[in-house]
Structure 1
Amino acid sequence: MNSSTPKISKNYFLFSMMLIAANLRLPITIMPPLLNSIEKNLNIPGSMAGLITSIPLIAFAIFSPIIVKVSKNRGNEVTIFIFFLLLIFGSYLRIIPAVWALFLGTALVGVGIDSGNVLLPAVIKDRMPNDIPKGTALYTMSMLLIAAIGTALSGFLITKMSLNSTLSILSLVGVIALVFWIPNILSNRKDKDAKEKEVPKYRSVWGQSIGWLITLYFGLQSTVYYSILTWLPKVLSGHGVSTVFSSNLLTILQLAGLPLSFIVPMLAPKKIGMGTLTTFVFLGYVVAPLAFLVNTTSAAYLVILTIFVGIAQGIAFNTAIFFFTNKTTNPYQTAEVSGMAQSAGYLLAAFGPVAFGLLQQSSIILIVLAVLATALTLTGIIINKSKLIRE
């Protein structure tokens, strides 16, 4: 930042950044408990309602590179502000009882979320160059924790009030985040500001193998995670596990990954840290899914396996974010590799679960997931041993 640029305190930045992060999954995770009400209110089939969770992922894939280009001209902080306006508009557009409003609003929500997905790692690297692990930990923790709370709160509110009221209340989180983000705009830095500080030119990550490896890693972890969320209940129902218990297991899965928001950024830079983390990814994403093939309704057995899967997803996601900040040399490069990885990564995540649906047999689905998770593990090892993305 320029010396004349107003400075925002570190604590205020962290607080406002956590509010933005809190909205990066919340508008998506509040929707599943509302699907029955949406189907009834709008008279649409369940297959169409299911698109509500896929549309934002497709928006991530399409708009990630675009957001990176906008940020180079407008600055990261201003870009987040502009796109969060779209998020808020889309959130409240979904209140209109019309199919077009639901899907257009959901698409705008996805575009708005993507600005935070892509740019927050870069902002953290820029604002906290000497304390990246702390910033990254608070970023991912806020995103995952509020998403889990939002799912539960959405399910509770819809039993007490109308669909419109539920969406209106939960959408206020985005408004609050945007208001508190405004002071950060005063410290916004455009690409031309960076040139004044002689930030070195860098080669595009799209032409570097390490950039593609990070993209592959992000894509694989997204595909495995969303596929497990989609198909695990069906696998368990085939074993005689109740729908309620399967739903509880998915909650446990998400909560089990929360502590990793702090553990991964602190442990990954250490000499034996990445090896330990990789071992748990293998156990949780390769061994555990195969163990679900055992035809049992044992609560203890299933809970233990689910915890291992949750730990693996927490490690894999946070490691991907770690690679964004620790394999790049400046904030602009961080934003570019983040946009590249999330563009291709979320495209896989959007279509992966659908492709698995064509396999029909749950045993084949779990075996293929284990193979993809093995590739994920090996890719992580290669990235960790690779040098920084070249300037």
Structure 2
Amino acid sequence: MKKSNYYWLAAGIVLIAANLRLPITMIPPLLPWFKTNLGFPTSLSGVLTTIPLLIFALLSPLVARWGVRRGNVPVLLAALAVMTIGGFLRIIPSSAVLIGGTILVGIGIAGGNVLLPAVIQEYFPLKTAVLTSLYTTTMGVVAALGTGVAAPLAQGTNLALSMGTLTCITLLAFLVWLGAFLKTPRKRPQPPLKSSSKTEKSSSLWGQPLTWMIAFYFGSQSLLYYSLLTWLPSYWLQAGFSAGLTGILATVFQLSGMPLSLITPLIARTKAGMYGIVLFVGASFVVGLACLVSFQQNFAVNLILAFLMGSAPAAAFALAIVFFQRKTVNITETVQMSGIAQSCGYLLAAVGPTLTGLVKGCTNSWGLIFGAYVVLAFLEALIGFLIIGHRPLKIRA
């Protein structure tokens, strides 16, 4: 394949990564406009962020199968087309169309979430760490910037222009990936295996303990990240911080993970580096959560805690991507592992914020909630150590 073709693929990978969180994180700041312009009920606001997470959980295994059979590059192109259509549909001033467009966006993101790690490993086997760093960092940076500019854009212009401007990033990703698709040599789709159902079951990653350990690791970091992203602002407001200071703390929480997203795949090239990352993630979660209740009204301390709790899930997410790549021995298994782990992970992520709200409503105790998070962080670290010590899977002879 020509060198220029790799540039198209690399640019496409970065642009796809830019769209894996942005369509979700841009929504919460725009909720007041949805209520005013569309009459969208406040009680249903959480649906707009929960829908994509549930779709990720449901479709990830199917996307993995499609990628194996049809090829990762064409399936990603189809996913981007669906995401672009859904994004522009959300501009139409209708609550029903908004929900429908969000469903399409979720379908598109599911494709990128599952297949992008495998594409990196397939086409850049010697640059996996570097491309994974760019992928995870771009995803976080663009998501944070989108969160910051969505509301000012809507206030300065209107809701449709704000959403349309941010959706143009998805359109750009589609166009660049179309170029990559046209320049990338076609690979023959893999036909379904002709082996018996028993053989298929025995060769499946679903029956491997390592698969479930990686799924738990990905799921626990997803649950902690989305739960904290949803509820930390409410906690800080209740603790007595002003809306302005709460906004600063929430911004630090989102942006603090950027350096870790960049360096984690590079550090994780060695087993010692992976152990260090797992230890850092566990310690950051435990210290951050344990100290929240003790230093409720100290802004400086909460600033540090926000930094720690924002860094931890970013490092854990990047390490989970490394696990997909390093604990499998071929592209097919990487795609399957990614699909299974993300299916379970995003199901937990969808449940986490809702369950946190129910516990808060029933007990009115942040201490109980943060204590449960600490236990989960301990378990996540333990499972992380076990994953690192486990040999890569070798399913098929």
Coarse TM-score class (shorter-chain normalised): over 0.9
1:387 corresponds to 2:385:
no
* Matching residue of 1:378: 382
Preserved CA contact (<8 Å) 1:20 1:177: yes
- What SS does the corresponding residue of 1:265 show, helix, strand or coil? helix
Unaligned stretches of 5+ in structure 2? 194-199
- Partner residue of 1:10? 6
In the TM superposition, what is the alpha-carbon distance from 1:331 to its structure 2 partner? 1.1
The match for 1:189 is: 187
How do 1:113-132 residues align onto structure 2 when only pairs under 5 Å count? 113-132=109-128
| Whole-angstrom distance in 2 between the partners of 1:289 and 1:192 | 47
TM superposition shift of 1:66: 1.2
**What's the CA shift string for 1:154-211, capped at 9, x where partnerless?**
1220111111111111111111111111132233434439x9xxxxx99321111111
TM-score (norm 1): 0.94
Pair 288,188 (structure 1): closer, same or farther in 2 beyond 3 Å = farther
Q: CA deviation at 1:128?
A: 0.9
SS in 2 for 1:159: helix
C-alpha distance in 2 between matches for 1:32 and 1:189: 41
Q: Does 1:63 align with 2:59?
A: yes
Whole-Å Cα distance in 2 between the matches of residues 223 and 16 of structure 1? 28
* Amino acid in structure 1 at the alignment position of 2:58: I
Q: Which residue of 2 aligns with 1:53?
A: 49
Question: In the aligned structure 2, how far is the partner of 1:242 from the partner of 1:294?
Answer: 19
SS of the residue corresponding to residue 129 of structure 1 reads coil
Task: Tell whether 2:232 aligns with 1:232.
Answer: yes
- Structure 2 equivalent of residue 316 of structure 1: 316
Equivalent positions of 1:194-205 (< 5 A) are 203-205=203-205
Quote how far apart the aligned CAs of 1:7 are: 6.5
Which of 359, 372, 375 is the matching residue for 1:368?
372
Any conservation in 2 of the 1:141–1:258 contact (CA below 8 Å)? Answer: yes
CA RMSD of aligned residues (A): 1.9
CA distance in 2, matches of 1:367, 1:57: 25
**Counterpart for residue 283 of structure 1:** 283
CA contact (8 A) 2:91 2:98 kept: yes
Question: How far apart are 1:262 and its partner, in Å?
Answer: 2.4
Native 8 Å contact 2:83 2:107 kept in 1: yes
- DSSP 3-state at the match of 1:241: coil
What does residue 261 of structure 2 align with?
A: 261
Could you tell me whether the CA contact under 8 Å between 2:5 and 2:180 is conserved in 1? no
Distance across 2 between alignment mates of 1:211 and 1:63:
17
Aligned length: 382
Whether contact under 8 Å (2:121, 2:331) holds in the other structure is: yes
Alignment of 1:119-268 (within 5 A): 119-185=115-181, 186-192=184-190, 203-268=203-268
Q: Once the two structures are superposed, what CA deviation does each residue of 1:275-303 show, in whole Å capped at 9, x if it has no partner?
A: 32122112211121110011432221111
Partner of 1:198: none
Shift of 1:253: 1.4
Normalised to the residue count of structure 2, the TM-score between the two structures is: 0.92
The verdict on how the C-alpha distance between 1:342 and 1:188 changes in structure 2, with shifts beyond 3 A counting, is farther
- Give the drift of 1:349: 0.3
Identity %: 38
Distance 2:163 2:224 in 1: 29
Distance in 1 separating the partners of 2:250 and 2:189:
42
Matched residues in 1 for 2:187 and 2:140: separation?
28
Pick the aligned partner of 1:89 from 85, 88, 103. 85
Q: Shift in Å at residue 268 of structure 1?
A: 1.4
Tell me, yes or no, if the aligned pair for 1:220 and 1:373 is still in contact at 8 Å: yes
Partner SS for 2:19: coil
Amino acid at match of 2:359: L
Residue type at the aligned position of 2:156:
K
Distance in 1 separating the partners of 2:271 and 2:54: 37
State whether residues 8 and 187 of structure 1, in contact with CA within 8 Å, keep that contact through their aligned partners in structure 2. no
Q: CA deviation at 1:45?
A: 2.0
Contact 2:76 2:111 in 1 (8 A): yes
Task: Tell me if structure 2 keeps the 8 A contact 1:21–1:143.
Answer: yes
- 1:330-368 C-alpha deviation (Å, 9 max, x unpaired): 111111000001111101100111011111121111111
Partners of 1:309 and 1:377 lie apart in 2 by 15
1:261 CA drift (Å)? 2.1
